[in-house]
Amino acid sequence: MSENATKQATRTSETANVLADEPKGRTGASRVLLGRDAIMIYILLAFLVYASIALPRFASPVTVGFLLLDVIPVLLIAMPMTLVIITGEIDLSVASIAGLTSALMGVLWQAGLDMGTVLVISVLAGVVAGALNGFLVAVVGLPSLAVTIGTLALFRGLALVVIGDNAVANFPPALTGFFISKLGATGIPTVMIGVLVVMVFFGVLLHFTPFGRGLYALGYSKEAARFVGIHVNRSKFWLFVATGTVSALAGVYWTLRYSSARSDNASGLELTVIAAVLLGGVSVFGGKGSIPGVIAGVLLIGSINYALRLSRVSDVVLIIVTGSLLILSVITPSVISAIRRWNHDRRLRRHVPQAPASGSTSAVHQAH
């Protein structure tokens, strides 16, 4: 079996496993085919088919290229963010870390260091920034929402301190060219290989390792997770280090893709990432979600935006779409479960008219 095929096989079985693990009360194929992730993927595919038919210029390598180049930062950061939100935490400082990395790259490159050193130091800065978040959340025990609002301001502030209102743009053309180069005629950007590695890494980590499975337990109940022997604080710490590191990678990508290092790079990206992750089916309460679902969510937002832009819908309407999708995606399950509960109650009342409306279910079962 060729290497590519193996990778393909791993990813399919990964999807299957995730869906199979969801306690939905369905069994066998219907579990896989009717799960939350599967529906997300159907919507994505349906939209892609529709767009290819309705928009003459949509189905082309150019689309693939620009669409992917645009979503890569969100796609990258969404991976560790999925894990963080599954544990019931959140990281709002990701875009600031990307901005700080970008500013550092600019200043270090300007100072005449060679590109290798610049990259290593910049990514290390992301690791340190993530470790600071992790320390405050996991070791000191502060709420991550508050901590990362603080570090959002702090890291963006440090980016300003580092580079001020300058911009550095004279990165080596060979390198910036590489970042927008495509794989042959497919239109897929070369850097997607790296992004794919990150995606597979976090997918395998979340779905196939004891560490990853433990994160779900952690998201459901911290106490229970501690009792079954999960290192709650250590897990959280490393997750924040991971978001810091990947955000730094996204910052590096942003800098070289646009060939510009500025303090305000990627600002506001944190809300886009979180919107995409939640749209992908991750519960903001923790304990629910999967990597394939999130990838579908990110790509759905990306392709809808791209399609609207192709049909000359102004950028301003795009954010209405993002917001509505987000709200719809969280409200629909609530509405469905409310309808289901109402149906269930009605059926119960019809079958056992003598049972009081608030009667316990066990009594109802005995009556049968």
Partner 1 sequence: MTTTVHPTGTDSPRPSSGRRSPLSAIAHLRELPVLLALVALILVTWLINPLFLAPQGVKDILLNATIVIILAAGQAIVIITRNVDLSVGSILGLVAFGTGSLFVAVPGIPIIVVILAGMLFGAVLGAINGLLVTLAKVPALVITLGTLYIFRGLNNAWAGGTQFFADDRPQEFGNLSVDTVLGFPLITLIAIVVVVIVAVFMSGTRSGRDLYAIGSDPDAARVFGVPVTRRVLFAFVTNGVLAGLAGVLYTSRFNSVGATTGTGLELDVVAAAVVGGVAIFGGSGSVIGAALGALLLTTITGALTAVRVDKFWQQAIVGLLILAAIVIDRIAAVRTARRLRVSESRDV
Residues of this chain that bind partner 1 (CB under 8 A): 90, 92, 136, 140-143, 145-147, 149-158, 160-161, 164-165, 267-268, 271, 274-275, 278, 284-285, 314, 316-324, 326-327, 330-331, 334-335
Minimum distance from CB of 99 to partner 1 (Å)? 11
Q: How far from 217 is each of 104, 145, 163, 227, CA to CA, in Å? A: 38, 20, 42, 11
The token pair at 131 is: 């470790």
CA 112 vs. chain centroid, Å, equals: 35
Task: Look up residue 138 and give its DSSP letter.
Answer: I
Beta-carbon count within 10 A of 45 CB: 12
Minimum distance from CB of 360 to partner 1 (Å)? 18
The answer to whether residues 98 and 251 touch, using CB atoms and an 8 Å cutoff, is yes
Minimum distance from CB of 327 to partner 1 (Å)? 4
Minimum distance from CB of 354 to partner 1 (Å)? 28
Minimum distance from CB of 136 to partner 1 (Å)? 7
Minimum distance from CB of 277 to partner 1 (Å)? 10
Is 199 or 278 the residue whose CB approaches partner 1 more closely?
278
Q: What residues contact 10, with CB distance under 8 A and at least 6 apart? A: 200, 204
Q: What residues contact 109, with CB distance under 8 A and at least 6 apart? A: 115, 118, 168, 170, 171, 261
Q: How far from 191 is each of 69, 175, 250, 305, 339, CA to CA, in Å? A: 9, 11, 11, 21, 45
Q: How far from 228 is each of 13, 89, 210, 333, CA to CA, in Å? A: 27, 20, 12, 30
Is 90 or 191 the residue whose CB approaches partner 1 more closely?
90
Is 256 or 301 the residue whose CB approaches partner 1 more closely?
301
Is 61 or 150 the residue whose CB approaches partner 1 more closely?
150
* Strand (E) or helix (H) holding 100: helix 94-110
Is 42 or 285 the residue whose CB approaches partner 1 more closely?
285
Minimum distance from CB of 168 to partner 1 (Å)? 16
Is 14 or 270 the residue whose CB approaches partner 1 more closely?
270
Q: How far apart are CA 354 and CA 357, in angstroms?
A: 9
Minimum distance from CB of 169 to partner 1 (Å)? 20
